[in-house]
C-alpha cells in the first residue's frame, strides 16, 4: 500500500535571482529573502505565534508545550541520511539532506529536515560551515554558522560552571572526598586549540586552588552536549546531568554531579538551549537545527527533542548522522535509537563520483578525469557502507550527488554496482537546482518506504560485555581483524563493568577518514587492528566512549585555517565563510 501523507500544494521556488554556479555559498544564501519564521510556522504547521521564541525575524526556538509528541499522537516517517567515508573531494551529506527535504516538499509531501548545529571550531578551522551548499542551503547562513541561537554557548558555560564548582568544592574542604588526582571532568571551548589539550590549573599558592592536571576539549565532545541531544524533556535533562561522574575518591568510588548538588543550576543554564531551533531552506521549507555532537568523538546526531518535534509536525522527516555510515549511522541506531525508541523508516547513502575515485587512489588534482577502473575500485567503500546498513535491516537508496564533470559512463557504473547490491542509485542535482534536482531521489525514497517498514536491528545486545561490544563494531562494521586494548583501557573497562555500567552502548571515537584507525588508508580495508587507547564513561549521556588511535577530543588548526579568509566587507557583510 502506498505511503499516506498530507498532500501540500507542490512547492515553488522562491523569487530569487540566483548567482551562477560556482558563486560562493554565502552569496547564494543572500540572494534569497527569508520568510518570516512566525509566518512559516503558522502556514506549515498551524502553530500560533506564541509557540515560538523569535531570535530576530528568521529564526526561533520552538516551545515544546505546543507540540504533541506522545506515543498516541500521529508520527511521520523518519529518513536517515548518511554517507560514504568522507574525503577532501566532498560528499555533500548535509547538502543532500537539505535538497532531499526540498525535493519532498516539491512533491507535495509535508516534510522537514533535522540537522546538527555547526561548531565554530571547524568554521574557523578546516571544514568550514555546515548549512548545506549551492541551491540546497539553510538560511540565514551566517547566523547558523556563527553563534546561532546561543545553544553552544549555554552548553560551554554549563560545562565550565561544573568544572569551576568542582575546583571550588575541593578548595573549601572537599566534603565528598573527591581525589584531585582522579578528577575526570575537563573544561571545554567551541574552538580548536591544540595548546590547551593538557594543562595544570590551581597554580599560584593556596589562595588560588589546588594544583592538578586537566585540559580542554572542544564543546561538541562535552558530555553535556550529548546529554542535551539525548534528553527527553527537562526532567530527563536534570536526571542525566545528576548522573555525570566527575571523578573518583581515593578508594576509586565515583563522585557524581548529584553528590555536589549542582544539577539544578546546570539545568537552569540549559533550559532555553533544550528547545529546538526552527529556520528554513532557500525554498522556504522548515528546518530544525539543534545540538551538534561530532560523530568522530561523540554520537553525531541532532537532538531527540528536535527529531520528536519534527515527526509530530510532518509526514516525513529527514535527519542526518555525522560522517560516514560506519560512525554516524551506527551510532544513530545503536545509541540514539536504542535509548529513545526511534527507528528510521528509510536510509540514504550519499556518494560522489569524485569521492569514489579518490577512494580508489586518484589524487585530488585528477578527479575531473574519467577513470572507470579507479571508480570501480573505490566503489568498494560504497559497497561496505551499503552492506553495513543492510546488517541493521535497512535497504538504503544511494544518492549520487552529481558534479559537473561526472560522465554518464561513470554514473551508469555506480548505478550498476548499486543494483548488484540490491539497492537503487539515483543521481541528484540539488546543489545546482535545489529541490527540483532532488525530486527523483525523493520519489525513490518514497518508493522504498512503500515496500514496508523495515525491522531495524541493533548490532549487539545490552548484556554483552563492553569489550565485546567494541569488538563487534570493529569486526562487523570496520571489518577489523582484531582489537588491541592498552593496559589503561582494560582497567577502565573492568572498572565500568564493576560499577554497573556494562549494559551501556559504546561510542567509538576514531578518525572519520578510514574504516581503520589510520586516516591514510582508503577504500574498504579488512583485517586491520583497531587500537583502543582509553575508555571514558559518560554515565549521564548513557554510553561508554572508546578512544581509538590518535583521535583528539580537542582538534588542532590546520596550516591555513579558514579564519585567515573570513572578514567583514565595507558594507559590514561576512565574506569568506563557506
Q: Is 90 annotated as a binding residue?
A: yes
Among this protein's residues, is 45 annotated catalytic?
A: no
93 is catalytic: yes
186 belongs to the catalytic site? no
Q: What is the DSSP letter of 65?
A: G
DSSP 247-263: EEETT--EEEHHHHT-H
Contact between residue 336 and residue 116 where contact means Cβ atoms under 8 Å apart: no
Cβ atoms of residues 301 and 332 within 8 Å: yes
Q: Which three cell numbers stand for residue 445?
A: 525514497
Q: Which of 148, 323, 485, 515 is catalytic?
A: 323
Helices (H) and strands (E) in the chain, counts: 20, 25
Closest CA to 508 of 343, 318, 298, 349: 298
- 431 as an active site residue: the answer is yes
Q: Of 93, 212, 238, 536, which one is the catalytic site residue?
A: 93
What is the CA 153 to chain-centroid distance, rounded? 18
Instruction: Assess contact for 424 and 398: CB atoms under 8 A.
Output: yes
Is 407 among the annotated ligand-binding positions? Answer: no
Catalytic residue among 16, 30, 75, 127: 127
Is 130 labelled as part of a ligand binding site?
Answer: no
Contacts of 113 (CB under 8 A, 6+ apart): 97, 98, 100, 101, 281, 285, 287, 288, 310, 317, 318, 319, 320
Asked about 294 being catalytic, the answer comes back as: no
Give the separation between CA 312 and CA 75, rounded to whole angstroms.
5
Is 214 marked within a binding site? no
Tell me whether residue 91 is annotated as binding.
Answer: yes
Cα distance between residue 458 and residue 329, in whole Å: 11
Q: Collapsing DSSP states into helix, strand and coil, what is residue 317?
A: strand
Q: What is the dihedral of CA 32, 33, 34, 40, to 10 degrees?
A: -110
User: 88 labelled as ligand-binding?
Assistant: yes
94 is in an annotated binding site: yes
Catalytic residue among 18, 104, 148, 431: 431
Q: Which of 403, 485, 501, 515 is catalytic?
A: 403
Selected catalytic residue, list 116, 248, 308, 336: 116
CA-CA distance, 223 to 129, in Å (whole number)?
23
What does the alpha-carbon distance between residue 513 and residue 499 come to, in Å, rounded to a whole number?
A: 34
Out of 82, 85, 95, 553, the active site residue is 95
Spot the catalytic one: 158, 163, 295, 298: 295
List the catalytic residues: 93, 95, 116, 127, 295, 323, 403, 431
User: Residues marked as binding for ATP?
Assistant: 87-94
Point out the annotated binding site.
87-94
Amino acid at each position: 500500500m502506498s505511503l499516506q501523507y498530507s498532500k501540500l500544494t507542490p512547492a515553488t521556488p522562491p523569487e530569487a535571482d540566483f548567482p551562477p554556479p560556482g558563486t560562493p555559498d554565502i552569496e547564494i544564501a543572500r540572494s534569497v529573502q527569508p520568510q518570516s519564521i512566525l509566518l512559516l510556522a503558522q502556514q506549515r504547521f498551524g502553530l500560533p505565534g506564541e509557540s515560538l521564541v523569535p531570535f530576530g525575524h528568521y529564526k526561533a526556538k520552538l516551545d515544546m508545550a505546543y507540540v504533541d509528541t506522545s506515543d498516541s499522537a500521529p508520527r511521520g516517517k523518519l529518513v536517515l541520511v548518511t554517507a560514504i567515508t568522507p574525503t577532501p573531494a566532498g560528499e555533500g551529506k548535509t547538502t543532500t539532506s537539505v535538497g532531499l527535504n526540498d525535493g519532498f516538499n516539491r512533491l507535495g509531501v509535508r516534510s522537514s529536515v533535522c540537522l546538527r548545529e555547526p561548531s565554530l571550531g571547524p568554521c574557523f578551522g578546516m571544514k568550514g560551515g555546515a548549512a548545506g551548499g549551492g541551491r540546497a542551503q539553510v538560511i540565514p547562513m551566517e547566523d547558523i554558522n556563527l553563534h546561532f541561537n546561543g545553544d553552544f554557548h549555554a552548553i560551554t558555560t554549563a560545562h565550565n560552571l561544573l568544572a569551576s564548582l568542582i575546583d571550588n568544592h575541593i578548595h573549601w574542604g572537599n566534603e565528598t572526598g573527591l581525589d584531585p588526582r582522579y578528577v575526570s571532568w575537563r573544561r571545554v571551548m567551541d574552538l580548536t586549540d591544540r595548546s590547551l589539550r593538557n594543562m595544570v590549573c590551581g597554580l599560584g599558592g593556596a589562595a588560588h586552588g589546588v594544583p592538578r592536571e586537566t585540559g580542554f576539549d572542544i564543546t561538541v565532545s562535552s558530555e553535556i552536549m550529548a546529554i542535551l541531544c539525548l534528553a527527553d524533556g527537562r526532567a530527563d535533562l536534570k536526571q542525566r546531568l545528576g548522573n555525570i561522574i566527575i571523578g573518583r575518591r581515593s578508594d576509586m568510588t565515583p563522585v557524581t554531579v548529584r553528590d555536589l548538588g549542582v544539577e539544578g543550576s546546570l539545568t537552569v543554564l540549559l533550559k532555553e538551549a533544550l528547545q529546538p531551533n526552527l529556520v528554513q531552506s532557500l525554498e522556504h521549507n522548515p528546518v530544525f537545527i539543534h545540538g551538534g555532537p561530532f560523530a568522530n568523538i561523540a554520537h553525531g546526531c541532532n537532538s531527540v527533542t528536535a527529531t520528536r518535534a519534527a515527526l509530530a509536525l510532518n509526514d516525513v522527516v529527514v535527519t542526518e548522522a555525522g560522517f560516514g555510515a560506519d560512525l554516524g549511522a551506527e551510532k544513530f541506531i545503536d545509541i540514539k535509537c536504542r535509548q529513545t525508541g526511534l527507528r528510521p523508516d528509510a536510509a540514504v547513502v550519499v556518494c560522489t563520483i569524485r569521492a569514489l575515485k579518490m577512494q580508489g587512489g586518484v589524487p585530488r588534482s585528477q578527479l575531473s578525469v574519467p577513470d572507470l577502473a579507479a571508480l570501480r575500485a573505490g566503489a568498494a567503500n560504497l559497497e561496505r557502507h551499503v552492506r553495513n546498513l543492510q546488517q541493521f535491516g535497512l535497504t538504503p537508496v544511494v544518492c549520487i550527488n552529481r558534479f559537473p564533470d561526472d560522465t554518464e559512463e561513470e554514473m551508469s557504473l555506480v548505478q550498476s554496482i548499486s543494483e548488484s547490491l540490491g539497492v537503487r542509485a539515483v543521481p541528484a542535482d540539488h546543489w545546482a537546482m535545489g529541490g527540483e534536482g532532488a525530486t527523483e531521489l525523493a520519489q525513490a525514497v518514497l518508493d522504498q518506504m512503500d515496500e514496508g517498514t523495515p525491522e531495524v536491528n541493533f548490532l549487539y545486545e545490552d548484556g554483552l560485555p563492553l569489550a565485546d561490544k567494541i569488538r563487534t563494531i570493529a569486526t562487523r562494521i570496520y571489518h577489523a581483524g582484531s582489537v588491541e586494548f592498552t593496559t589503561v583501557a582494560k582497567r577502565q573497562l573492568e572498572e565500568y563493568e564493576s560499577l554497573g555500567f556494562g549494559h551501556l552502548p559504546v561510542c567509538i571515537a576514531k578518525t572519520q577518514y578510514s574504516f581503520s584507525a589510520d586516516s591514510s588508508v582508503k577504500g574498504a580495508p579488512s583485517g586491520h587492528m583497531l587500537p583502543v587507547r582509553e575508555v571514558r564513561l559518560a554515565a549521564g549521556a548513557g554510553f561508554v566512549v572508546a578512544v581509538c588511535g590518535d583521535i583528539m577530543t580537542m582538534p588542532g588548526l590546520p596550516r591555513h585555517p579558514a579564519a585567515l579568509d573570513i572578514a567583514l566587507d565595507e558594507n559590514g557583510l561576512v565574506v569568506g565563510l563557506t
